[in-house]
A and B are shown apart, each in its own frame.
Chain A
């Protein structure tokens, strides 16, 4: 049975609700669910102070309302599914290891930060630092997949080590900042300084990018491995431009300021 949590009203300050996770909620009675702690600013509150609940504790959770001020939903989750019928707040699915999160609206910053597995799907736009490392941390996302149908802001995939990020719209500046590994697919291009201090990994852009001078043009070719990535994205329902499988890509190697072994593949005209 599915657990449905409906937000009564948007909290005046951010609500930290780490308890909204299948790992925590599975098997709990409705009363126990409502008694879970949540922090409104620095005040310790109950989940029931903000949400109405229906059903019972389950691995299937549906959240209703504008949750753009509810932080840490699905933090560290390892299984199950969360569907957010609205917007989601910061740190959605941070450090998650498995399961799936679906956001039907927009999401805020730090989606999937330092995640290790699982799937996060955003139907709308997302903020910055998607799949990134937290400040002071050496590694960002280490596995899993983040799909954003809309656009994102800055520092997407910062210090990302492994995994896949797909952005259907445009990204802000510093995409793949200090990236170590993994793959970022940009359908709508990105702002300036993409791949800055990049040490490894792959950024794929279907639109032209303004690259740092420390990225060196290497060759133009048809990378076979991209077909594997594209096929995987198609199975996840992502929209890709027609004819992309046979497209040629210009390969830029960098960031030579490091020196890095990263690669930026820009679709050739």
Chain B
């Protein structure tokens, strides 16, 4: 299969079940909401090293308090770790940011985690609770007024680790394609691309020759190791970028992969592949050719 002359490998991305939350951050201005969202999603690229994965989803036109808002998606491997990540990150990155407030962005869910209920103790007994329209909020006194945070945040089963690899002739064209792919993938609601710019250059494999390390560089895709390992690279590929996609369900991940791959298939890209572990670890398998099947012209097929 080819798209725009780019070879689509007959392989699949292997993804994992996770738990996800959407957090809506509001502030007096869009700038301060963005400042808080960036702080909250910092150092949240991988559950392995950061405890959670998080990224800015989009700006929110209608927020609970009517102020400018940004939604952030946070993913973790269990509800407990997700609760812990939300409490830490909202407490340290959002509550500390001037003029902000923080609300759950998921409503029609069955599972709710006590986030504001844990953060309220910062109020040292001066915190107040308000119930408005069936939802409970905490008003925590801070030095510019009050930090308002919802008592419980809705969480849902999610999918983490949807991915594809952009194999390019050189770094510049590979990066352009990867950037375009990340941008296209982000247009899907309910997905987050947790790595810097949505692009990963240090793809990893499970395990290492060092006993203390659980993940190490994916040597099969490193161009400098072409002759020192069992390479997966075609002869003319000198740069590989990975797009990693987490989503609030299988369908958003699949659609984000589809849009991303189509955007990545451009001049200078040799092929599109995906990272997997032989299908032994992840519950979700996203086959590249199946994802693209409905999007191709007759010529490409």
Contact = CB atoms under 8 A, between A and B. Distances in A.
B57 to A, nearest CB: 22
A232 B64 CA distance: 9
A223 B146 contact: yes
Interface of A: 143, 162, 164, 183, 202, 221-225, 227-232, 235, 245
Contact of A231 (B65, B131, B148): B65
B207 interface: no
Interface stretch (B7-15, B16-24, B132-140, B269-277): B132-140
A224 B132 contact: no
A245 B28 CA distance: 11
3 closest A-B pairs by CB: A227-B65, A221-B145, A224-B148
Contacts of A225: 65, 130, 132, 137, 139, 146, 148
Interface string B100-133: 0100000000000000000000000000001111
A222 B65 contact: no
B145 A245 contact: no
21 contacts: A202-B130, A221-B144, A221-B145, A222-B145, A224-B67, A224-B139, A225-B65, A225-B130, A225-B148, A227-B64, A227-B66, A227-B67, A228-B65, A228-B130, A228-B133, A229-B130, A229-B132, A230-B66, A231-B64, A231-B66, A232-B133
A50 B64 CA distance: 47
A225 B149 CA distance: 9
A241 B148 CA distance: 23
Contacts of B66: 227, 230-231, 245
Secondary structure type dominating chain B contacts: strand
Nearest to B28: A222
Nearest to A145: B133
Nearest to B135: A228
Q: Which of A164, A221, A229, A231 counts the most chain B CB atoms within 10 A?
A: A231
Interface residues of B, number: 16
B132 A232 contact: yes
Contacts of B148: 224-225, 228
A231 B130 CA distance: 14
Interface in B119-173: 130-133, 137, 139, 144-146, 148
A252 B26 CA distance: 26
Contacts of B131: 143, 162
A231 B66 CA distance: 8
A229 B101 CA distance: 14
A231 B62 CA distance: 11
Contacts of B144: 221
Contacts of A245: 66
A120 B1 CA distance: 64
A227 B132 CA distance: 11
Interface string B57-91: 00000001111000000000000000000000000
Given A229-B130, A230-B66, 11 more contacts: A224-B146, A225-B137, A225-B139, A225-B146, A228-B65, A228-B133, A229-B132, A231-B65, A232-B132, A232-B133, A245-B66
A224 B67 CA distance: 9
A222 B145 CA distance: 8
Nearest to A164: B132
Q: Which of B64, B132, B146 counts the most chain A CB atoms within 10 A?
A: B132
Contacts of B26: 224
A183 B139 CA distance: 14
A228 B133 CA distance: 9
A14 B148 CA distance: 47
A224 B130 contact: no
A223 B101 CA distance: 11
A121 B133 CA distance: 16
Contacts of B146: 221, 223-225
Nearest to A235: B133
Contacts of A228: 64-65, 130, 132-133, 137, 148
Contacts of B101: 224
Contacts of A162: 131
Contacts of B132: 164, 183, 225, 228-229, 232
A132 B262 CA distance: 64
B139 to A, nearest CB: 5
A143 B136 CA distance: 13
Nearest to A232: B133
